[in-house]
Amino acid sequence: MGMPQGHVDATGLVARALAPYAERPGPEAVAALVDDLITCGQELHGSLSRAPSQHRLAGTVAALAEWEYFAAVGPLGSGPHANWNYARALARIIRQLLEPGR
pLDDT digits (tens, 9 = 90+) for 3-28: 444 445 899 999 999 999 999 999 99
Angle CA 60–74–92, to nearest 5: 40
Residue-wise pLDDT tens digits, 45-89? 998 888 877 777 888 889 999 999 999 999 999 888 999 999 999
Question: What are the domain boundaries of the chain?
Answer: 25-98
Q: Could you tell me which of 93, 99, 79, 96 has the C-alpha nearest to residue 24?
A: 79
pTM of the model: 0.85
